[in-house]
Amino acid sequence: MDIQTLAQLGVKEDTLTREEKSFLDENGYLNLGKLLSDKQLELIRSTLQSLLELEGEKAGKELMDSPFIRHPKEAGADRLGDLVNKGEVFDLFYTHPRVLAAIAHVIGPEIKLSSLNYRAAKPGAGLQKLHADYPDPVPSADYRVCNSIWLLDDFSAANGATRIVPGTHKSQSLPDQVMEDPMATHPDEEIIHAPAGSVVIFNSHTWHGGTTNQTDKPRRAIHSYFCRRDQPQQIHQKTYIKPETLNRIPKEAALLLDVV
């Protein structure tokens, strides 16, 4: 994966504006706006519901099998893993030019998909401690991982939206090291408020976590999580890749998965 391959996937120098890049650099996150239409949302939601019913108790098994997933199973959330191999409808989640441009801006053009998973915070649950998605602090501008949250429902403080502490990707510390209780509210944290169909990028070294869903419905999202090519994938794509998936996706997408 390099700049040329990203260009073939539609990424250009101006895919992100100068203002967007600056905001992402300074705050460690960026709302890309609504990238999914209402029609796409309807299809994605119905496909996910069918998968949850089909997989039953085995839903999210791929996450349990991975040694690199920080939150493999949560009693308070529905999970699905390895969406790469579970339908064409999910191809967009790791090939959208706006998302790839933002990921590459954070960790450089040598990127690969680490995992593509679904998480839905159940009513009355979903609270996570503030954390980063990397086990150690890293030097500023030497970032290794970057995530995107695809909102399948409106995100608000009421339904357990993700909280982010802006600027903490530059702090050279982790919440566990400096906070008495990482489950507690941070004075500088911000709650993502955005409509369904929006996509929020966040430098995964930025402190973040789910909040409690206080409504009577699940709060649904898909995470397309990326890493530098010198880092291990959360889901080892070569282990799981199916022939029908390889036959469906273009070569550039296969390179992004690191399966060819």
| Alpha-carbon span 258 to 75, nearest angstrom | 32
Domain of 57: which CATH number?
Answer: 2.60.120.620
Cα 9 to the chain's mean position, in Å? 19
| 12: phi then psi, degrees, rounded to nearest 5 | -120, 170
Classify residue 207 by burial, with Cβ atoms within 10 Å: 0-12, 13-18, 19+.
buried
Token reading at 173: 């510390």
Check residue 2 and give its pLDDT: 74
Share of the chain above pLDDT 90, in %: 88
Asked if 159 and 215 count as a contact pair (C-beta separation under 8 A), the reply is yes
User: Amino acid letter at 80?
Assistant: L
What is the count of structural domains for the chain?
A: 1
Counting residues of the chain whose pLDDT is more than 70, the rounded percentage is: 96
Report pLDDT for 60.
Answer: 84
Residues 69, 91: Cα–Cα separation, whole Å: 21
Confidence of residue 69 (pLDDT cuts 50, 70, 90): low
Q: What residues pair up with 199 in beta bridges, in sequence order?
A: 150
Q: What is the mean pLDDT of residues 103-132?
A: 97
**Domain extent for 251:** 3-257
Q: Which one-letter DSSP state was computed for residue 208?
A: E
Tokens representing 19 are 């203002």
Q: Which residue do the tokens 């997933």 mark?
A: 69
- 73-106 pLDDT, tens digit per residue, is 677 899 999 999 999 999 999 999 999 999 999 9
The encoded tokens of residue 37 equal: 């239409």
Distance CA 255, CA 252 (A): 5
CA gap 179, 202 in Å, rounded = 21
pLDDT at position 70, please? 56
The pTM of this model reads: 0.95
Predicted local distance difference test score (pLDDT) of residue 124: 97
pLDDT, greater one: 65 or 61? 61
Average the pLDDT over each of 49-63, 142-156, 173-187, 196-210 and give the range with the smallest value: 49-63
182 or 2, higher pLDDT = 182
Q: pLDDT class for 8, splitting at 50, 70, 90? A: very high
Distance, first Cα to last Cα, the chain: 11
Q: Which two tokens stand for residue 69?
A: 């997933």
Model confidence at 66, pLDDT cuts 50, 70, 90, reads low
Q: Which two tokens stand for residue 147?
A: 């995530």
DSSP 8-state class, residue 197 = T
Round to whole Å and give the CA distance between 225 and 204: 9
Q: Give the per-residue pLDDT at 14.
A: 96
Mean pLDDT (whole number) for 8-33: 97
197-228 tens-digit pLDDT = 999 999 999 999 999 999 999 999 999 999 99
Positive or negative torsion for Cα 68, 50, 223, 216: negative
